[in-house]
């Protein structure tokens, strides 16, 4: 079953490093044994699985046993790990989860989006709403950083301003000044908006926020300008969820 | 005052991308206007400041106005931002802060260490203890990610096992199984140990932990293996500090 990659296969896989090609073909890449296994055990549809070791359970016609040299031709990683798989990008589910929802206003860093998806998974947030300028969740760096969590969180790209306007659920936004999250009453249901790494929440989105909240600083010298957006998400989700235990 | 970089200057600056050279010369690099300004306003000693615009207040003999082309020769960034400065690595202060201390057991990712330093600054943790295999805090990616917080947090590299043995302060370690941090009593004073990205806390360090704590998962499918180490730090520091408000 051992095979040699064709020029066309190499071309298709490599083209998926670009968002426009992922969208046109409806395909994305997962690398590494652990990540691929998570996607194989999910609702995602496998298209091709290229591996240097016969360790996966997958339909034979989708499996190619390739050489290390061929894996190096298609990987985006410096040190590729055994396998690379191509999956179909699913249609996003349109239902809003009735519980806690996280919304991102132009988060640009793939690592940040990836760890935010992991946090949503950890804290049982099933719906992540992204503004159209937020980095693509099928970017391979994002997929890598999610460690498989992408299979359990429904990510939707929407016009965030219109989205917030049409939903009556309470919208929380993180700002440098606002209610102290440690002493505020926080509901079990709500949309938590996090802003762009450099600029925070945009004015258009700010006008849709019902409650401005802040994570207070504890240092004597209050000089740190802001927390990393993924860390702010971690602290907020922790704070919203711990209240459900207290009740 | 405009000047052209000598070959030797370029060689010295570029050599500082390697830890062994930073340690031998006792120097490290800060890039970008904002980061450099934070270091100039701190106790750190400036050695050289190379800038394409005369916007800094610094002793004239340490300042070089250079061309964009010369800045490109010495930067480690894809898009260098106006200036690059060389500072002296200070002697670490040996005093243990009497409050909350964070200790890292072989954290390897520069971005993780950088955001952990920012978190320490935000939450008023003045002392960060790193095992000898933790990534160097004067690595330029770490310095970049700290956004100036490195000027306010004292980072020490120590044999972590011996260090924990010789301190009588209560040691907390994060594990997949342990006391639920949301319902545990947490003191104002303590050492919080976080482990390596892939392997968590090593056995040698685990034996020095007094209290194993865990951040509970809230998802229905409990499949995410672990949180990113910087996010776990964010959640723990948030949880320790919020208790001081409740009191």
Tokens 């990008």 correspond to A89
Q: Are B160 and B173 in contact (CB under 8 A)?
A: no
Q: Are B184 and B213 in contact (CB under 8 A)?
A: yes
A114 pLDDT exceeds 60?
yes
A97 pLDDT exceeds 80?
no
Q: Which two tokens stand for residue A72?
A: 């190096």
Identify the pLDDT of residue B94.
74
* Mean pLDDT computed over every residue of chain A: 92
Give the model confidence (pLDDT) of B141-178 as tens digits.
Answer: 999 888 889 999 999 999 999 999 998 899 999 998 89
Compute the nearest-CA separation of A42 from chain B (Å): 12
Partner-chain residue, chosen from B111, B215, B219, that has the shortest CB–CB distance to A124: B219
Tokens 């965030």 correspond to A160
Give the model confidence (pLDDT) of B116-148 as tens digits.
Answer: 999 999 999 999 999 999 999 999 999 988 888
Please give the share of chain A, as a percent, with pLDDT higher than 90: 80
Identify the pLDDT of residue A118.
94
Identify the pLDDT of residue B244.
84
Tokens 């298609």 correspond to A74
Compute the nearest-CA separation of A24 from chain B (Å): 29
* Mean pLDDT computed over every residue of chain B: 92
Q: Cα(A207)–Cα(A204) distance, rounded to whole angstroms? A: 6
CATH H-level superfamily of A7-88: Ribosomal protein L30/S12 (3.30.1330.30)
ipTM of the complex: 0.91
If one compares A96 and B56, the residue with the highest pLDDT of the two is B56
Q: Which two tokens stand for residue B182?
A: 């949301």
pLDDT, mean of residues A167-195: 94
**Could you tell me the residue ranges of all domains in chain B?**
7-88, 100-246
pLDDT, mean of residues A235-242: 96
Identify the pLDDT of residue B247.
47
Identify the pLDDT of residue A95.
67
A75 pLDDT exceeds 70?
yes
CATH 3.40.1280.10 fits A100-246, yes or no: yes
Measured CA angle at A118 (ends A116, A122), to 5 deg: 115
A1 pLDDT exceeds 70?
no
A21 pLDDT exceeds 90?
yes
pLDDT, mean of residues A80-87: 94
Q: Considering only CB atoms, which residues of chain A are within 8 Å of chain B?
A: 38, 111, 115, 118-119, 121-124, 147-149, 152, 180, 182-183, 215, 217-221, 223-225, 227-228, 230-235, 238-239, 241-242, 244-246
Judging contacts by C-beta atoms under 8 Å, the chain B residues touching residue A224 are: 118, 121-122, 147-149, 152
pLDDT, mean of residues A71-98: 88
pLDDT, mean of residues B181-206: 95
């Amino acid at each position: 079953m051992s095979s040699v990659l064709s020029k066309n296969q190499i071309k298709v896989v490599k083209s998926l490093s670009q968002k426009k090609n992922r969208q046109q073909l409806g395909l994305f890449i997962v690398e590494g044994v652990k990540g691929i296994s998570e996607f194989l055990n999910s609702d995602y549809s496998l298209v091709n699985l290229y591996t240097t070791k016969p360790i996966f359970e997958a339909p034979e016609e989708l499996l190619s046993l390739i050489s290390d040299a061929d894996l190096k031709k298609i990987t985006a990683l410096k040190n590729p790990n055994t396998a690379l798989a191509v999956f179909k990008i699913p249609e996003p589910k349109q239902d809003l989860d009735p519980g806690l929802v996280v919304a991102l206003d132009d988060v640009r860093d793939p690592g940040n989006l990836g760890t935010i998806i992991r946090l949503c998974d950890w804290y049982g947030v099933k719906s992540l709403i992204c503004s159209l300028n937020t980095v693509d969740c099928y970017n391979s760096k994002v997929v890598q950083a999610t460690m498989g969590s992408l299979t359990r969180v429904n990510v939707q790209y929407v016009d965030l301003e219109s989205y917030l306007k049409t939903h009556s659920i309470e919208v929380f936004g993180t700002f440098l000044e606002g209610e102290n999250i440690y002493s505020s009453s926080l509901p079990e249901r709500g949309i938590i908006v996090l802003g762009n790494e450099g600029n925070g929440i945009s004015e258009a989105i700010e006008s849709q926020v019902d409650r401005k909240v802040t994570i207070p600083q504890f240092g004597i010298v209050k000089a740190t300008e802001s927390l990393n957006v993924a860390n702010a998400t971690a602290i907020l989700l922790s704070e919203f969820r711990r209240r459900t235990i207290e009740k």
